[in-house]
Structure 1
Amino acid sequence: MTPFGRLTHRHGVLALLATTALVSSISVLLLSVDVDWNALHRHAVEVRVAFWRATGRMPARPTQPAPWPWSAAQPSYADRDVLVILKTGWQTQSQLEAALQFLDRSRTASNTVIISDHASDIQGGNLSSTWVVHDVIEPLAKDALYNGSEVVKMYEAMHAYIRADKMEDARAVKGWHIDRLKNVPGFQLAYRLHPGYKWYIMIDDDTFLHFPSLLTGLRGLDADRAHYLGTSLDGTIRVAYGGGGIVLSQGAVRLLHFAAPGYLRDTVWNGRESDIALGWALAQAAGVHLAEDRSLVFAGGTPDEVPIDAARACVPAATLHHIKPRDFAIANDRLSHVNATLSWLGMWNAFATSHEMHERRQGWTYNYGETPKYGKVAFASDKGPLDEDGCKKSCSEGCMAWTWRKDQSSCFIGNVLTVGRADVEAVSGVNVARISELEAICNP
């Protein structure tokens, strides 16, 4: 028998506890010295992802459509269980007013927290409420740990210009740099003000939120446990993209609330972006990582930018991003009457017209991107010559949309569908039979 042959489960547990204590001690030590946190966190995530893949724990993206597996799962949640954190800035005041006007009817000043880089009160919203806008940067600017950093200097300069009524100079300050400080203190403030909610979702002031779909996306998750949801940013650092909405459970936001202030240090001094800072703080302070299996519920684009494939078709569609003030009215008109869960295929239908009009459209493309990742180039075959009609016929089976370019004599057969965009050189159409098939699967 080897020296390790007598190891028991109890020994394994003790070893795990000892390792955890050692890692925690090292983390505390590292916070007191200068460290390349970007490289450290990237390496840690790469190791974690490699382990997931090696052990088969990495959530696989489905290739076949299926009804949302948690549509009837318990526990379920209602509007009253969710607090919305609306993130804005002094420079995007007009965007905030539009967001409040078309916020879900269940949202009021008592169940919504607005965070910014400038404190104010604002009239508006669907109930003509008075909304308090909280400045979450001011406490950091007064803290010796952050005072003197470039981002705090920008914040102080913007406020100095505002006080001096030099509005053009204030608008010239790079507000998006200041924005990187808002996520972590924003969630912490929301928890201090309203500690009793089961879920906390942070959205930008140009994010459209469809509440019924969000609630369906949360079904089956225990809010007392730590959950971190959102659409993942590209790259090895798996964090939720703020524009698509970031959701924390009661369990996760409670852990974040008690995280040491030092977790913001690298954000302030080394320029870590706000979404990455939040993901890093959750991972390092609380051991909470992004839930990959729910990432398709959220989207970081407009209706015509969101790619819909077989994997996404039946998934609840909770958020849209980059919605300009004038587009909030359009989104509200298309979606406000939908009081049930809306799938991404349903979202496509809401922003598109009838299928018949989509079988062929001049000066348009329904494909997301004409690259191998999103489909293939079709060639002449027994289905017909390489012309517009032959291109359309080539879009069969798993094909979602086709695009013919006469000037290039090229035909692209796509496995991804979008609402589409203008393209003067293209003729495009959708596979109506495939769309109907997916609708039947999503709504059995």
Structure 2
Amino acid sequence: MRRHLRKLRSTPAVVLLFLILLFLLPYDNSFSPRAAIVSAVPALFEKRWWLINKPGAYPVDFSQDVAVLVKSGIGTKERIPSWLQAHEHMELSDLLLIGDFATLPGQEYQYRDQRLPVHDVLAWMIGRGYMAEDLDHPRLQKYYNLTRAIDREDVGAAQEMSGSFGWELDAMKFLSGMELLYSRFPDKKWYIMADDDTYLIQPSFKRLIEHFNPNREQYLGNPVGGEDCRFGHGGSSIILSHRAVSHLTSDREYLATAYRESLDETWGDKRLAVALNRLEIYIYEEYAAFFNGERPRTSKITKERLCTPVLSFHGLSSSSDMLSVSRTFEHATEQVLWIDLWNIPTSDKSDNAHLPKASTSLFDDPIYDTGHANWDYVGRPDEWTQSVEDVSSVETCKQICREERPDFCLAWTWDSNEKKCHMSWWIIKGDQAEGRTSGLNVPVVKGLVRSCRP
């Protein structure tokens, strides 16, 4: 009996030792129970390894080790030149443009010393035999109608069709685009997919992927979706390791099935995830904070994100928007943290040659405490914000934020017309908002910033 009691008493110690040894393993080890434990014990991952002045375990040279896919379409092709110009500083040697159309000889786009065509990835998929040319499906018929309009140079009809059903064709580009990218550049460590209105911050990307072994199956992105399938939001950019893409594209028979299923898919980024999940390759939920699907001024800086690198911006649909963001971030040589976004220029027309690092002193301006008239640091109220009605003054709104809801509220906005106080668990750089006065929960914000940028 005593021997059995000794065994029982030692069990907690054994379990503790097991957990310690487990967490000492490299992050990307193949021992799967780690993922479940990570979700149950998130505090153990608050090490902020990216803030430690130490090189990554798996060095990356962007010009040699990374292939980038830019996804466009006939309805948005005017974005391509500004995307290429905005990313010239990245010196990408392996860049692929895809769409639902193909450029003709002599119409290629210029990127540094390269002439880049747009590849019609739907035509490529059909040409590879994944779908029969005579397959009768409404989505394919729409594609053929678009192609005929392009061939007869009916720009108006092509633009109208793209606006009507371009999203349906876009859903077919993710998986096929990744296969085409890998077939062109099979020896890369990393593969990145981005939209033509997505801006990539190279030093932040580099800091993240150097933490992972590309010879293991890695899927990184901004997780969205429900319990049935969590998938990386395409606009925020998606990162796949060499091993993951190699495995994904190795089963031609399955790809043919997946491409046919994409004819009925709403979201192409979900279809890509379904194919990866089939191989037991799942997105890393705990690295969601690195990815961003918003424009810089509306990017939500939460407690979890504040001291984390930000990799991307999305929704930069105009040339001026894309190039303005590029002017702000193209000179960054170190990772950009979310809180550094507070230093972006107030005007989109400002030619800022360098984005300063944020610090607590940035929030010494009394305007953040007393309130910034005709401004909004909260953004559009939604299901994630909190609002209180019948609030008579700025001071009352500030008091509700700081004293009544300090654990929730990072920013507050008082609407003088509706007499409402809106609060959020994030801060945004914001913009002008007539009739509103906005401020921050300054003590809390400063405390958060002090943990990474004293």
What amino acid does structure 2 have at the position aligned with 1:279? A
What amino acid does structure 1 have at the position aligned with 2:143? Y
What amino acid does structure 2 have at the position aligned with 1:328? M
Separation (CA, whole Å) in 2 of partners of 1:219 and 1:178: 34
| Residue number in structure 2 paired with 1:102 | 86
| Residue number in structure 2 paired with 1:365 | 376
| Residue number in structure 2 paired with 1:251 | 243
- 1:429 lines up with 2:448 in the alignment: no
Task: Name the stretch that deviates more: 270-279 or 309-318.
Answer: 270-279
What amino acid does structure 2 have at the position aligned with 1:219? E
Structure-2 change in CA distance of 1:138 and 1:64 (3 Å): closer
Please list, as runs of the form range in 1=range in 2, the aligned pairs for 1:219-298 lying within 5 A after superposition: 219-236=210-227, 237-259=229-251, 260-284=254-278, 286-298=279-291
Give the gaps of 5 or more residues in structure 1: 1-50, 381-385
| Residue number in structure 2 paired with 1:122 | 108
Residue of structure 2 aligned with 1:159, choices 124, 132, 147: 147
Please list, as runs of the form range in 1=range in 2, the aligned pairs for 1:20-419 lying within 5 A after superposition: 56-58=37-39, 67-68=48-49, 72=54, 73-79=56-62, 80-108=64-92, 110-120=93-103, 121-125=107-111, 127=112, 129-142=114-127, 143=129, 145=131, 147-173=135-161, 174-236=165-227, 237-259=229-251, 260-284=254-278, 286-324=279-317, 325-351=319-345, 355=363, 356=365, 358-359=368-369, 360-368=371-379, 370=381, 373-375=384-386, 377=388, 387-396=393-402, 398=407, 399-419=409-429
Separation (CA, whole Å) in 2 of partners of 1:180 and 1:96: 19
Structure-2 change in CA distance of 1:54 and 1:244 (3 Å): closer
What amino acid does structure 2 have at the position aligned with 1:102? A
Structure-2 change in CA distance of 1:378 and 1:314 (3 Å): farther
Compute the RMSD of aligned alpha carbons: 3.0
Separation (CA, whole Å) in 1 of partners of 2:80 and 2:302: 32
Q: Compute the displacement of 1:377 (Å).
A: 4.1
Q: Deviations over 1:132-179 (max 9, x none)?
A: 222211133343735322222222111111111211111122222111
Q: Equivalent residue of 2:231, what SS?
A: coil
Give the gaps of 5 or more residues in structure 2: 1-31, 348-361
- Structure 2 length as normaliser, TM-score? 0.77
% identical equivalent positions: 24
What amino acid does structure 2 have at the position aligned with 1:58? S
Structure-2 change in CA distance of 1:207 and 1:166 (3 Å): same
Q: Compute the displacement of 1:320 (Å).
A: 0.5
Q: Equivalent residue of 1:171, what SS?
A: helix
Structure-2 change in CA distance of 1:372 and 1:171 (3 Å): closer
Q: Compute the displacement of 1:272 (Å).
A: 4.1
Task: Name the stretch that deviates more: 265-274 or 181-190.
Answer: 265-274
Structure-2 change in CA distance of 1:342 and 1:220 (3 Å): same
Q: Compute the displacement of 1:250 (Å).
A: 0.7
Q: Deviations over 1:187-244 (max 9, x none)?
A: 1111111111111000000000001011112232111000111101232220001000
Separation (CA, whole Å) in 1 of partners of 2:88 and 2:110: 13
Q: Compute the displacement of 1:82 (Å).
A: 1.7
Separation (CA, whole Å) in 1 of partners of 2:427 and 2:46: 14
Separation (CA, whole Å) in 1 of partners of 2:199 and 2:191: 16
Number of matched pairs: 386
Q: Compute the displacement of 1:262 (Å).
A: 3.0
Separation (CA, whole Å) in 2 of partners of 1:331 and 1:54: 36
Q: Equivalent residue of 1:213, what SS?
A: helix
- Structure 1 length as normaliser, TM-score? 0.78
